[in-house]
Amino acid sequence: MAKPRAAETRKRTRIQQEKEDRILDAALDVFSVHGFRGSTIDQIAKAAGMSKPNLLYYFRTKEAIHRLLIGRLLDTWLDPLREMSADGDPLSEICSYIRRKLEMARDYPREGRLFTNEILRGAPHIQEEMSDLKSLVDEKAKIMRGWMKDGRLAKCDPHHLIFSIWATTQHYADFDVQVRAVLGPAKSGEGRFEDAARYLEKLFLDGLKP
């Protein structure tokens, strides 16, 4: 055959596997920093070590790459929240949730920035998922309200509680350069995540009153 597109090929070959992975990795690098419109196929191709037409042999369009990355991301992004269980101890459940989100900010900062880029742009590609998100959050908020009624959690607005967890943990991915600039070279090692975890646990449990 003259020119089969990679995706139209009978089976996924070894080369396809490899190259597609390399492209997605490179694209995540580029998209997470420059956003969709700010990224070029050339940039991604170069980062993946191949020519532009070669890249386009594996993915028809720039958007196809982006869509795939966003899809993958959304798949796992909410897992930590899903894991929060009504049966556990309220404060431990919340602390575990914070810890898991912070680990994600540490281990997958590019995915975090990709997500933030998308939200900043007004979430044009993920309207549907936003409504799934609402259902999930409402469900967990209900659990929290139950805990509050039982006197096992301080009374407060559960939606804003969840926002504050998202915000404080995601901050270490999105504002990484600012965090490093402020902490200075000495404290910018991986240890900053342990400091953050310690601080956040204290904040969420006891607040700042002496």
Partner DNA sequence: TGTAATCTTTACCAATTGATCAAATTTTTC
Partner DNA sequence: GAAAAATTTGATCAATTGGTAAAGATTACA
Q: What separation, in Å, do the N-terminal and C-terminal C-alpha atoms of the chain show?
A: 75
Asked if residue 196 binds its own copies (CB under 8 A), the reply is yes
Site string for its own copies, 32-61 (x = CB under 8 A): -xxxxxx-----------------------
Residue 86 and residue 143 in contact, taking contact as beta carbons nearer than 8 Å: yes
Please state, in angstroms and rounded to a whole number, the distance separating the CA atoms of residues 44 and 46: 5
Q: What angle do CA 20, 22, 25 make, to 5 degrees?
A: 105
Q: Which does 146 bind (CB under 5 to 8 A by kind): DNA, its own copies, none?
A: none
Binding partner of 116, given DNA, its own copies, none, CB within 5-8 angstroms per partner class: its own copies
CB under 5 to 8 A by kind: which of DNA, its own copies, none does 131 bind?
its own copies
Q: Please select the residue that binds DNA; options are 33, 41, 68, 133, rule is CB under 7 A.
A: 41
The C-alpha atoms of residue 90 and residue 92 are separated, in whole angstroms, by: 6
The listed partner (DNA, its own copies, none) that binds 182, CB under 5 to 8 Å by sort, is: its own copies
CB of 41 to DNA, least distance (A): 4
Minimum CB distance to DNA, residue 48 (Å): 10
Site for DNA in 7-26 (CB under 7 A): 9-11, 13-16, 19
Give me the DSSP letters along 41-109.
HHHHHHHTTS-HHHHHHH-SSHHHHHHHHHHHHHHHHTHHHHH--TTS-HHHHHHHHHHHHHHHHHH-H
CB of residue 54 vs DNA: minimum separation in angstroms?
4
| Cβ 133 to DNA shortest distance, Å | 28
Question: What is d(CA 97, CA 158) in angstroms, rounded to the nearest whole number?
Answer: 14
